[in-house]
Structure 1
């Protein structure tokens, strides 16, 4: 009976099925961001392993915990595997991930972004670029090399420990910062999206910025394609040696379609500067810029489309408060089965989107806030006393059992903890805009960007998995195969031991920075955030400054078919918000309240119409802060005070000397008393000075 219980056949079958599910999920992710038919295999295969191996680590850690905590004679409560199988699995996962992170993916990423035509030239360019990168990494790690060799001596074991420890330290530094940011950003995003009106206003506030970036991307692509057109007109000189290359670039360019005459920026013919001598390096650089410009244009067109769709959906939910119904258009015959299927009536759809989704997001926000607090608490308290770790209590359910301290429920909870930690770190990659313009675009991601994001996933998974192990009691994780394989080399020296125990407490720095918006305050201090010129002080409508009002009108003009960009993005992807699109339901029309409609649809974005100040204050009282509202009330109160006659006659017989600058005519022409000017400075300015 004991032999049957101790047999790992059931666990092996479960592990194989779980690996197949993980592989299928990775394929779906690749299909979502990359066109599988046109993407070359040298990109798809490494990205598949770079995503699949970290996902398998989320599965391996709980299995390793249950396998090491079980009794050899009594079996295990959860999924377990023999130690030899676990050791082989960790070796394959770790060293293949290490090779992908530091060698394979960087070389292939530069190869995809080289710009040269011949594979040999692209490989030489990639190796040269990565040699510079590896030289910088080696220079940064030379202090660690000296420390290891002096402390432990020059041996294969110390060299192996050096590689593991340095890779772990660098990955943990990046992971702690990104995870600390994401632990606050994920619940905050859920809380903010629970308010329908607030969500719509944030969408409208982001619209001018995205629209401007889209126009900049289009303008940049036009200049590069005009440069290619100028090169194609050259028939003599050094351009003859690269005639095939230039014609290939010209065939890939679509200058007439990508440069409509109705752009908001009424651009003339782009200024083209072509060198007199055409070299291979110049054409490679031009090809690289063209590739990046096309993907940048596709990226912002996709962001603009998604913003329009979110705006229409949110506005439809907000407008349904009066009718208590949400109608959707009839699906096209060419639509998929998921688009044709609907389970809600208009009334139940209103209840679901207006009430259930909002309250469910609040519930998830509270739930993930508690999860974030538990992770931060465990990071801080583990260096003091690991027994007070909240995560350890949720994972270890049978501390004194002969059949293992961790059961199947503890394994599932451990997988969820690791998954949330990885999700918090990876979502920060999309929010922190310091990655050289890289982005993930649906079905059209640049090959170099896809390789870079896959490299970050592979780089962060192992440090986060081992960091999760340290949340538990040392009696639990010291016996795991993962600790014997990696942990002993991380703690090979006293410096590594102290780093692993103390550095995770610095997670409080990104958590506090994100929680209290220290990033925005630092930008304001150094002059990069919240800067308002003197010319913009009177621009209370917000046009030209990226306000939500400007975004509201941009979205309205686009949905009504009056956009200056026209149907520019039709070639870059399906624009689901366009009513004439046959592959989607008709999108709801974005409506604007009549009292806020102070601009016509045909006006330009950069125009600054005059709006009655008092009417705007009554309609939009929430746009002014406490001090502005208090100043307005004080000024209005003082302006309506009628002083007594004896006070008005005071000083009539006294004339101001000329050397003081007195001007009786000018003084008599002033409306109101001088006392009122202490608060407003003057009626002609129309604003309050405090």
Structure 2
């Protein structure tokens, strides 16, 4: 029996353990963003599969490379599986991902977001909502089917190739855009976070926007809850037919302190129709669910922002004493911040010296990796010998040797970095509406949408990675025989992967030169990195929405007098600002430089911001030019100048020899007694 035909026991055990580890990691990821016990199985199982299957693709590609390129004489020198096992694995992974992304997850997301009580109403709403999108896809597929049938004949292989090519082209367009953005965003974020003071400034610049969105979400939710209260008070008419549904609407609402002025305005703005219908209640339920999760999203984002600001400020303040102690918050900005093994002195060196230098080193490595990927995408069709990714995986472009173990590790690292860049682009791009991932409280529709997007991007990125390798290595893989051959069968897919990735320069240049910020200024569209653009346009931080206002909001929240410490946190587990010794020590310098604010001041909207104080500390003066500093000093001098005492309107005081008393005040008998050198004594005169 030859070595190649033997059963790969070790590789099979490794593959099984790797799949088990992937499942465990996916479960932990779901536990972070969903409450597994409260999540129904019809939601958790598809989302789990939509995350576990793409992760297994990252594992299958290196195994496929080693299995298809192994030498029968010397035997495999890497982790490999029989060709039949690899083919079955690819079929299961690809077609499950295809069905999940194009049918199950879109229908499931709209099913959860429908607002209806009965499953039949939810299903009909989901089908109607996806009908337009599916109709567009069906029309494109019909046109392509007619073209392919005329050219290649009408057979099952052509139809399957057309379906795969359409799905691949759409996924590749989206993947190239998101990956190009992430290839620049990852190293730049690492470089920026290495500077602690700059990181604090960006957090403060982002705070006003998060605060405004949170207050808007709170106001929108209270308007809807006021409308629900009006529905509950109606006991006659058509409302009696939906009484159970109406009684279920307040479930999940958080009790908050009443604000009389706002509720009066909410009662006037909330209108309830005279006739209550099922469609109206479904629409109200849907809006109420979205408003609750939107409030939870911005509350979580605000909590993380405040805790991050507290941690970064504590790191800056520790430079004086060389001891670092974080304030006691249940939610930490990082994992290492909660480690109690470190002493304050070691923690200071870790966060001040080790972690920033590690971020600089990691940022340099990610920059080099991004340049190599962009270089390989540009020259894989023109000068394939210059592909850096190919040289690092196969080591020889002319006569590729079997892919060994370290080639598999290198291929996994490249593929994982490309997928990570695309996922970073998903989180940074601001074109997905109100969808977001919230810790332990993610909306079901958002979970379906993000899981579907992850599954939709992985297969095109995996095949795009294969095109970076030598042609002899790529064409012998099972993945190419299963997918690439059918993609090249149609004119739509043939050559598309070789020429279209050149357009990766568009998102790369747009992110590198902040094209998104310029589009925002021209068209009013915020696509990505809004806080960075605000810092560049307003480095001094004065005015509405500047970083000075964000610093004031964070300081007020930490001191317990912010508007978000009142009624917006009722009914949920949250941290309360602690005025302990650790918090006061962490914010000793920040409190000294912050302005005093009234305890009842709050911003209910973007137009409710008060004027910022003109007090400037030494750090702020270094960022101003001569004219700004001179104007601010003149304004401060004029505002702080007190009126002279002789202009304050005080009554004229007589001399002491005329009044006869100590303080110079006059009375009815003061003048007479002063002239006679006497003292007033019960109205009598002393001679």
Give yes or no for contact 1:328–1:587 (8 Å, CA) kept in 2: no
Give yes or no for contact 2:317–2:586 (8 Å, CA) kept in 1: no
Q: Does 1:555 align with 2:554?
A: yes
Q: Does 1:470 align with 2:473?
A: no
Q: Does 1:35 align with 2:32?
A: no
CA distance in structure 2 between the aligned counterparts of 1:192 and 1:391, rounded to whole angstroms: 27
Q: Does 1:405 align with 2:402?
A: yes
1:452-492 deviations in Å (ceiling 9; x for gaps): 00000110000000000000000111000000000011111
CA distance in structure 2 between the aligned counterparts of 1:171 and 1:398, rounded to whole angstroms: 30
Q: Does 1:430 align with 2:427?
A: yes
Aligned to 1:640: none
CA distance in structure 2 between the aligned counterparts of 1:67 and 1:599, rounded to whole angstroms: 68
1:431-470 deviations in Å (ceiling 9; x for gaps): 1111120000000100110010000011000000000000
CA distance in structure 1 between the aligned counterparts of 2:38 and 2:508, rounded to whole angstroms: 41
Aligned to 1:386: 384
**Which one of the candidate residues 489, 492, 495 is aligned to 2:489?**
492
Q: CA deviation at 1:147?
A: 2.6
Relative to 1, partners in 2 of residues 1:389 and 1:601: Cα closer, same or farther, differing over 3 Å? farther
Decide which moves more: 496-505 or 448-457: 496-505
Give yes or no for contact 1:223–1:270 (8 Å, CA) kept in 2: no
Relative to 1, partners in 2 of residues 1:541 and 1:450: Cα closer, same or farther, differing over 3 Å? closer
Q: CA deviation at 1:556?
A: 0.5
Q: TM-score of the superposition, structure 2-length normalised?
A: 0.83
Relative to 1, partners in 2 of residues 1:573 and 1:202: Cα closer, same or farther, differing over 3 Å? farther
Give yes or no for contact 1:398–1:405 (8 Å, CA) kept in 2: no
CA distance in structure 2 between the aligned counterparts of 1:406 and 1:587, rounded to whole angstroms: 58
**Which one of the candidate residues 454, 469, 478 is aligned to 1:457?**
454
Relative to 1, partners in 2 of residues 1:505 and 1:329: Cα closer, same or farther, differing over 3 Å? closer
Relative to 1, partners in 2 of residues 1:260 and 1:140: Cα closer, same or farther, differing over 3 Å? farther
Q: TM-score of the superposition, structure 1-length normalised?
A: 0.83
Structure 2 spans left out of the alignment, 5+ residues: 531-536, 604-608, 635-687
CA distance in structure 2 between the aligned counterparts of 1:2 and 1:571, rounded to whole angstroms: 70
Q: Which of these two proteins has the greater Rg computed from alpha carbons?
A: 2
Aligned to 2:614: 611
Give yes or no for contact 2:317–2:589 (8 Å, CA) kept in 1: no
CA distance in structure 2 between the aligned counterparts of 1:538 and 1:299, rounded to whole angstroms: 27
Q: CA deviation at 1:339?
A: 9.0
Give yes or no for contact 1:398–1:406 (8 Å, CA) kept in 2: no
CA distance in structure 2 between the aligned counterparts of 1:304 and 1:330, rounded to whole angstroms: 17
**Which one of the candidate residues 273, 283, 286 is aligned to 2:284?**
286
Structure 1 spans left out of the alignment, 5+ residues: 531-536, 636-690
Aligned to 2:300: 302
Aligned to 1:50: 50
Give yes or no for contact 2:394–2:403 (8 Å, CA) kept in 1: yes
CA distance in structure 1 between the aligned counterparts of 2:132 and 2:473, rounded to whole angstroms: 43
Give yes or no for contact 1:68–1:480 (8 Å, CA) kept in 2: yes
Aligned to 1:174: 174
Aligned to 2:250: 250
Q: Does 1:514 align with 2:517?
A: no
Q: CA deviation at 1:43?
A: 0.4
Relative to 1, partners in 2 of residues 1:632 and 1:587: Cα closer, same or farther, differing over 3 Å? closer
1:236-281 deviations in Å (ceiling 9; x for gaps): 1111111111111134444xx2354399999665521111111000
Give yes or no for contact 2:178–2:423 (8 Å, CA) kept in 1: yes
Q: CA deviation at 1:80?
A: 0.5
Residues 77-226 of structure 1 aligned to structure 2 (within 5 Å) = 77-226=77-226
Aligned residues: 614
Q: CA deviation at 1:572?
A: 6.8
1:160-216 deviations in Å (ceiling 9; x for gaps): 001000000000000000000010011111111111110011111111100110000
Aligned to 1:352: 350
Give yes or no for contact 2:87–2:482 (8 Å, CA) kept in 1: yes
Relative to 1, partners in 2 of residues 1:259 and 1:11: Cα closer, same or farther, differing over 3 Å? same
1:280-311 deviations in Å (ceiling 9; x for gaps): 00000100111111100000000000001100
CA distance in structure 1 between the aligned counterparts of 2:546 and 2:508, rounded to whole angstroms: 28
Aligned to 1:313: 311
Aligned to 2:438: 441
**Which one of the candidate residues 257, 269, 272 is aligned to 1:271?**
269
CA distance in structure 1 between the aligned counterparts of 2:74 and 2:402, rounded to whole angstroms: 12
Residues 592-611 of structure 1 aligned to structure 2 (within 5 Å) = 592=589, 596-600=593-597, 602=599, 606-609=609-612, 611=614
Give yes or no for contact 2:226–2:266 (8 Å, CA) kept in 1: no
Relative to 1, partners in 2 of residues 1:197 and 1:279: Cα closer, same or farther, differing over 3 Å? same
CA RMSD of aligned residues (A): 3.2
CA distance in structure 1 between the aligned counterparts of 2:196 and 2:539, rounded to whole angstroms: 27
Relative to 1, partners in 2 of residues 1:360 and 1:264: Cα closer, same or farther, differing over 3 Å? farther
